[in-house]
Structure 1
């Protein structure tokens, strides 16, 4: 717990508006991806078909879309950012693995790698000063 507090203090001392914009853009991107998946379920089923051989295909369909939509909203507002990103990590790692287990889509692979990198950054950095987390913490 002390490590998280130390990371938050460091992040709040080194906060920049551009990083908040990147966090908001990440949240909006994940939300839009969730909407895209929920409006086109056959596309999502086709994407996860290489992993479906392992099992749990319908579980994945029902985990990916809400996690992207709810997590995207939370990340955009900066509310429970680290928890929302932890929920995204298995999805993003799976998105990378799907490219190696099935047909390689270099655009999807690059997008998944870039999103994973940004998520890992915000997992360490946190939500920053211009966020709901910071607002609620300061209003106590």
Structure 2
């Protein structure tokens, strides 16, 4: 637990405003992916069925799609607002790991496989914001100052 506290402290001490704009864009991309999963579940269902590593049945695939879509919608909003960003990033990381290694890696490392590159980039950014945190332009930061003023 001490290592996690040190990482959080380092991340809080090394925040810049330009990273906040990157965090907002990341949150919007994740939210957009959630919307696309909800609007066309058949595409994602075909991807999972083609690369069915764990032997999921049709019902389990459907539940997984809805859980992933919900996690992307909620996580995207939380990351965009900068509200419990580290928690939202940690929830997204396993989903992106699964997307990178089991879904998008099957077609291979090629330029047309843009989903793989997007997934790798989003995974890298999620890990970075898990370490760095919300930043100065976030709901977390404004709540921290309001609570500090109230009890000062």
**TM-score, normalization by structure 1:** 0.87
Contact kept in structure 1, 2:96 and 2:123, CA below 8 Å:
yes
- Partners of 2:122 and 2:142 lie apart in 1 by 26
Relative to structure 1, the CA distance from residue 52 to residue 65 in structure 2 (aligned partners, 3 Å threshold; closer, same or farther) is: farther
CA apart distance, 1:115: 0.6
The aligned residue for residue 93 of structure 2 is 89
The equivalences for 1:62-77 within 5 A come to: 62-77=66-81
CA apart distance, 1:23: 0.3
1:75-95 deviation digits (Å, cap 9, x = unpaired): 000001111111111211111
- Find the structure with the greater CA-based Rg: 2
Ranges of 4+ aligned residues in structure 1 off by more than 6 Å:
none
1:88-111 deviation digits (Å, cap 9, x = unpaired): 11211111121334x446211111
The alignment partner of 2:88 has SS state of helix
Q: Which blocks of at least 5 consecutive residues in structure 1 are unaligned?
A: none
CA apart distance, 1:68: 0.6
Contact kept in structure 2, 1:8 and 1:128, CA below 8 Å:
no
**TM-score, normalization by structure 2:** 0.81
The alignment status of 1:106 with 2:113, answered yes or no, reads yes
The alignment partner of 1:127 has SS state of coil
- Partners of 1:8 and 1:17 lie apart in 2 by 17
How many residue pairs are counted as aligned between the two chains?
139
Q: Which blocks of at least 5 consecutive residues in structure 2 are unaligned?
A: 148-152
The alignment status of 1:135 with 2:142, answered yes or no, reads yes
Alpha-carbon RMSD across the aligned residues, in angstroms, is 2.0
Contact kept in structure 1, 2:81 and 2:138, CA below 8 Å:
yes
CA apart distance, 1:60: 1.1
